[in-house]
C-alpha cells in the first residue's frame, strides 16, 4: 500500500506546484511540459482504483495516458521496481503487481479480465460492431439502435443465456476496468423486463456505480441523466454526460460526481420532475451546494426522444439556452408546482 504523505512529498519535489483534494493529487502534465494548457492536468491517486489499491494510479488528461504510480516513479526516477516501492512508502505487494505495472505501459488492446470477486460480462457477449454483418441478433440490435439514433460503438449484444437477445451496456471506471453492466431487451413483450442488470448478490448494484462512456477531467461540467441512452445522446451532442440508472441518487454516486460541475438532466415527465426535486435534496444533504438543471422541452419525454425527432444542433442549442442554476427559489417554486399538479 502506498503511503499518501510519502508519495505527496515525492510529487511536490518532482512537480513543484501541486493541488491536493481528498486522496487525489493534481500536477502539471509531464508528457507535454512546454504546453501551458497542461496545468494541473495530471491526476494521481495513491489509494488507487477498485482493483489497484496497492500501487496507486495516474491519468494524464492531455494524452489519455494512464498507469500506476509505481510505474510513474520508475519512469521519472529511472529506478527499479523495488526502489520505486521504497520511494512511495509501499509496505505490501500482490503476487502479480509487477506484471500489472508492465501491463499499464504495454500497447496491447484492453481486455475485460476476470478479476476475483468482481463483475463479469455474460458469456456469449460480443460487441455489436464485430458481428453485425453476420449475426441475426446483432443485426436486430443495430437496427433497433438506429431507430433511436444511438450509435453502436461500445455497446454489446448477448446471444445466449440469461441475457439472450439483449443489448449489453458495459460500465467502466476511469481506468477502463469493467465495474457493472445493464441490458435492454430486443423483445418487447409485457412479461419480459425491459431492462435487466446483475443481481445485487454479486456485491455491486446500480446504486454503487455511475455510467460514463468517457470520464472527463475533474472540474468539467457534466450532465447527469437517469438512463444510459439519454447520456449517450447528450455526449453525441457535445456534452460530457453520465447516467445514474435510477430516480434516486446514492451517496456513492454523489461522491462520483463531487469533482464535476453537475447539471441535472432528467426526463420531462412527472416522474422525472419529481426526481429532479429529490436529487436537489440529496445533493444538498450530501454537501453539494452548487449545480444546475435542464429538462427536455414539453412534448418530449426525454433527451433521446428529442434527438430522434430533431437533430444534434437543435438539442445542443436547446440545452445551452435552457440550462439554469438550481437555486433554492427554483426548488421551492418547482416543489409547489409539482404538489399542485
CATH number at residue 173: 3.90.980.10
CATH number at residue 330: 3.40.1360.10
Q: What is the pLDDT of residues 39-96, one digit of tens each?
A: 667 778 876 544 344 457 777 776 666 677 777 887 788 776 667 778 887 654 443 4
The pTM assigned to this predicted structure is: 0.66
Say which range, 7-21, 22-36, 202-216, 312-326, has the weakest mean pLDDT.
22-36
Residues 228, 331, single domain; the answer is: yes
User: What tens digit of pLDDT does each residue of 241-256 get?
Assistant: 999 988 889 989 999 8
263 and 323 Cβ atoms separated by less than 8 Å: yes
Residue 120 lies in a domain: no
Residues 248 and 143 in one domain: no
Residue 119: predicted pLDDT: 79
The CA R_g of the chain, rounded to the nearest whole Å, is: 22
Residues 227 and 161 in one domain: no
| Domain coverage including residue 248 | 221-340
Same structural domain, 146 and 251: no
Residue 271 and residue 301 in contact, taking contact as beta carbons nearer than 8 Å: no
Lookup result for grid cell 454503487? 208
What CATH number should be reported for the domain holding residue 26?
3.90.580
> How many distinct structural domains can be found in the chain?
3
Q: How confident is the model at residue 334, as a pLDDT? A: 84
Question: Do both 175 and 267 map to the same domain?
Answer: no
pLDDT digit string, tens, across residues 178-224: 899 999 999 888 888 999 998 876 678 888 899 998 898 888 999 99
- Is the model's pLDDT at 101 over the cut of 80? no
Of 186, 86, 96, 189, the residue nearest 141 (C-alpha): 186
Q: Do 98 and 32 have their domain in common?
A: yes
Residues 36 and 91 occupy one common structural domain: yes
Query: What does the pLDDT read at residue 233?
Result: 97
Amino acid at each position: 500500500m502506498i503511503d499518501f504523505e510519502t508519495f505527496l512529498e515525492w510529487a511536490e519535489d518532482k512537480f513543484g506546484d501541486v493541488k491536493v483534494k481528498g486522496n487525489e493529487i493534481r500536477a502539471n502534465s509531464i508528457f507535454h511540459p512546454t504546453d501551458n494548457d497542461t496545468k494541473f492536468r495530471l491526476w494521481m491517486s495513491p489509494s488507487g482504483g477498485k482493483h489497484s489499491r496497492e500501487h496507486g494510479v495516474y491519468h494524464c488528461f492531455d494524452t489519455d495516458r494512464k498507469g500506476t504510480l509505481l510505474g510513474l516513479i520508475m519512469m521519472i526516477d529511472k529506478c527499479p521496481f523495488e526502489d520505486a516501492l521504497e520511494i512511495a512508502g509501499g509496505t505490501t505487494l500482490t503476487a502479480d503487481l509487477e506484471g500489472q505495472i508492465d501491463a499499464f505501459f504495454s500497447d496491447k488492446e484492453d481486455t475485460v479480465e476476470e478479476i476475483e470477486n468482481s463483475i463479469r460480462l455474460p458469456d456469449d457477449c460480443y460487441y455489436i460492431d464485430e458481428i453485425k454483418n453476420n449475426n441475426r441478433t446483432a443485426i436486430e440490435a443495430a437496427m433497433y439502435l438506429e431507430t433511436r439514433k444511438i450509435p453502436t460503438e461500445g455497446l454489446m449484444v448477448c446471444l445466449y443465456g440469461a441475457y439472450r437477445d439483449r443489448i449489453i451496456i458495459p460500465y467502466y471506471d476511469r481506468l477502463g476496468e469493467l465495474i457493472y453492466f445493464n441490458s435492454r431487451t430486443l423483445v418487447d413483450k409485457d412479461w419480459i423486463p425491459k431492462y435487466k442488470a446483475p443481481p445485487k448478490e454479486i456485491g455491486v448494484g446500480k446504486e454503487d456505480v455511475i455510467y460514463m462512456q468517457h470520464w472527463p477531467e475533474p472540474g468539467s461540467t457534466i450532465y447527469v441523466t437517469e438512463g444510459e441512452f439519454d447520456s449517450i445522446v447528450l455526449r453525441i451532442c457535445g456534452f460530457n454526460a453520465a447516467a445514474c440508472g435510477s430516480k434516486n441518487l446514492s451517496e456513492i454516486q454523489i461522491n462520483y460526481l463531487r469533482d464535476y460541475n453537475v447539471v441535472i438532466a432528467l426526463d420531462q415527465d412527472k416522474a422525472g420532475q419529481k426526481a429532479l426535486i429529490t436529487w436537489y435534496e440529496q445533493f444538498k444533504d450530501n454537501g453539494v451546494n452548487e449545480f444546475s438543471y435542464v429538462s427536455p422541452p414539453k412534448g418530449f419525454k426525454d433527451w433521446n426522444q428529442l434527438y430522434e425527432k430533431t437533430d444534434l444542433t437543435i438539442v445542443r442549442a436547446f440545452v445551452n439556452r435552457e440550462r439554469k442554476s438550481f437555486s433554492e427559489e427554483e426548488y421551492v417554486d418547482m416543489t409547489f408546482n409539482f404538489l399542485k399538479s
